Structure 1
Amino acid sequence: MDTTTIRTAAIDDLAAMVEVHTQARTAYYRAGGLAEAELADPVEHAERTAGWRRAIGGERHIALCAVRGDRVVGVLSMGALEEGVCELYQLHVRPGSWGLGIGSRLHAAYLAALRDALVPYGRLCVWERNGRAREFYVRHGWRADGHRTPGPGGADYLRTRLRVG
Structure 2
Amino acid sequence: MDVRVATPADLDDIVDLHTRARIAYYGAGGLPTGEIVDPELAREQRDGWTAAIAAPHKHVRCAVVDGRVVGLLAMGPPHSAEADAAQLYQIHVAPDCWGRGIGATLHGLFLRHLEAEALPVGVLEVWERNARARAFYTRHGWRPDGTTRPGPADAPYLGMRLTHP
- What TM-score bracket applies, with the shorter chain setting the length? over 0.9
Partner of residue 119, structure 2: 119
Partner of residue 164, structure 2: 164
Query: Is the aligned partner of 1:11 residue 2:17?
Result: no
Q: Which runs of 5+ in 1 are unaligned?
A: none
Q: Which runs of 5+ in 2 are unaligned?
A: none
Q: CA deviation at 1:44?
A: 1.2
**Equivalent-residue separation in structure 1 for 2:19 and 2:57 (angstroms):** 23
Q: CA deviation at 1:104?
A: 0.3
Partner of residue 103, structure 2: 103
Tell me the alpha carbon deviations over residues 111-155 of structure 1, each in whole angstroms, 9 at most, x when there is no partner. Answer: 101101101111000000000000000000000000111100110
Q: CA deviation at 1:80?
A: 3.5
Query: Is the aligned partner of 1:34 residue 2:28?
Result: no
**Equivalent-residue separation in structure 1 for 2:121 and 2:77 (angstroms):** 12
Query: Is the aligned partner of 1:73 residue 2:70?
Result: yes
- Contact (CA 8 Å) 1:145, 1:160: kept in 2 or not? yes
SS in 1 for 2:3: strand
Query: Which residue identity lines up with residue 163 of structure 2 in the other structure?
Result: R
RMSD: 1.3
Q: TM-score, normalised to structure 2's length?
A: 0.94
Query: Which residue identity lines up with residue 138 of structure 1 in the other structure?
Result: T
Query: Which residue identity lines up with residue 51 of structure 1 in the other structure?
Result: G
Aligned length, in residue pairs: 162
Query: Which residue identity lines up with residue 39 of structure 1 in the other structure?
Result: I
Query: Is the aligned partner of 1:92 residue 2:89?
Result: no
Partner of residue 48, structure 1: 45
Query: Which residue identity lines up with residue 136 of structure 2 in the other structure?
Result: F
Q: TM-score, normalised to structure 1's length?
A: 0.94
Q: CA deviation at 1:41?
A: 1.6
Query: Is the aligned partner of 1:138 residue 2:135?
Result: no
